[in-house]
């Protein structure tokens, strides 16, 4: 699928899958089941593309999947309310952390001395997990992170007089950049192990072709830190313009 129409269709298809997987996870009722259902089939699709050398297409599809996770997950929590708490790993803890930051302006979100070490640890763990498992574990971890971020945003929207505006403000540009950068890393770092396991693919692997994309991902992570340091306090005020916290 090519062009804007193809991308819109892709988001629709992936959104339907994520919505179905999320609802199935609710029925099963186990918090670990939700990210597994949301991730495994999409991971299989990514591997299928990579084994055919379509790594650029894999990046595009995984971007669409991340968008679908964010939109569907946020709207699902907005509809479910507190009933979603038991199904989202780390969701309630992250919501409390972010709500406290919104109330006081103090916390990790706007303090680079606190969030930089965590970002560094997360990047290191993601890189190791991606190289060691062809991104299976790191992709699952990314789904868990997207889910608890969506839980926070969906919960916040329930206290807003302009939910759509709150949705846009609570998914700040730096967080979106970070997600997109990690998607690129997840795809590119899955390739070495996949190609090592299949001798037929080794000869077609050219790291120099991926180098610009790797640079783009790292630039996105740097931009995330800079924009978060600069904009997080402003986003706090923009969010509170429409939200009345309990």
pLDDT tens for each residue of 39-82: 998 999 999 999 988 999 999 999 999 999 999 999 999 999 98
pLDDT digits (tens, 9 = 90+) for 121-140: 999 999 999 999 999 999 99
The residue that leads in pLDDT, 208 or 133, is 133
pLDDT at 4: 65
Does some domain include residue 18?
Answer: yes
Beta bridge partners of 243: 160
Long-range contacts of 156-161 (CB under 8 A, 24+ apart): 156/98, 156/99, 156/239, 156/243, 157/74, 157/78, 158/78, 158/81, 159/243, 159/244, 159/245, 159/246, 160/242, 160/243, 160/244, 161/242, 161/243, 161/244
153-161 average pLDDT score: 97
Q: How much is the pLDDT for 27? A: 86
Residue 220: inside a domain, yes or no? Answer: yes
For residue 31, name the pLDDT band (cuts at 50, 70, 90).
confident
On whether residue 49 sits in a domain, the answer given is: yes
pLDDT at 147 over 80: yes
Rounded to whole angstroms, the Cα distance separating 169 from 240 reads: 10
Other beta carbons within 10 angstroms of residue 132's beta carbon come to 13
Domain of 36 in residue numbering reads as 3-240
| Count of structural domains, the chain | 1
The model scores a pTM over 0.85: yes
Of 48, 44, 150, the C-alpha closest to 90 is 150
Please report whether residue 149 resides in a domain: yes
Q: What is the CB-side half-sphere exposure of residue 228 using CA atoms within 13 A?
A: 24
- Asked, for residue 245, whether it belongs to a domain, the answer is no
Whether 202 is covered by a domain: the verdict is: yes
**pLDDT score for 16:** 84
- Does residue 198 lie in a domain region? yes
In a domain, 129, yes or no: yes
Cβ proximity of 25 and 87 under 8 Å: yes
């Amino acid at each position: 699928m090519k062009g804007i129409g193809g991308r819109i269709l892709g988001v629709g298809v992936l959104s339907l899958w994520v919505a179905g997987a999320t609802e199935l996870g609710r029925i099963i009722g186990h918090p670990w089941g939700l990210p597994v259902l949301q991730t495994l089939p999409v991971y299989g699709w990514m591997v299928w593309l990579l084994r055919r050398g379509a790594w650029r297409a894999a990046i595009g599809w995984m971007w669409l999947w991340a968008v679908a996770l964010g939109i569907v997950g946020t709207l699902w929590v907005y509809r479910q309310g507190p009933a979603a708490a038991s199904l989202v790993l780390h969701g309630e803890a992250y919501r409390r952390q972010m709500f406290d930051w919104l109330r006081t302006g103090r916390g990790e979100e706007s303090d680079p001395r606190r969030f930089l070490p965590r970002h560094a640890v997360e990047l290191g763990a993601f890189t190791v997990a991606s190289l060691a498992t062809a991104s299976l574990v790191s992709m699952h971890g990314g789904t868990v992170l997207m889910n608890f971020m969506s839980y926070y945003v969906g919960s916040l929207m329930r206290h807003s007089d302009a939910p759509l505006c709150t949705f846009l403000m609570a998914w700040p540009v730096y967080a979106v950049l970070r997600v997109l950068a990690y998607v690129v890393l997840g795809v590119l770092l899955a390739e070495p192990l996949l190609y090592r396991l299949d001798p037929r693919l080794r000869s077609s692997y050219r790291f120099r072709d991926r180098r610009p994309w790797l640079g783009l991902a790292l630039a996105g992570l740097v931009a995330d830190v800079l924009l978060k340091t600069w904009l997080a306090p402003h986003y706090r005020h923009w969010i509170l313009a429409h939200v009345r916290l309990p």
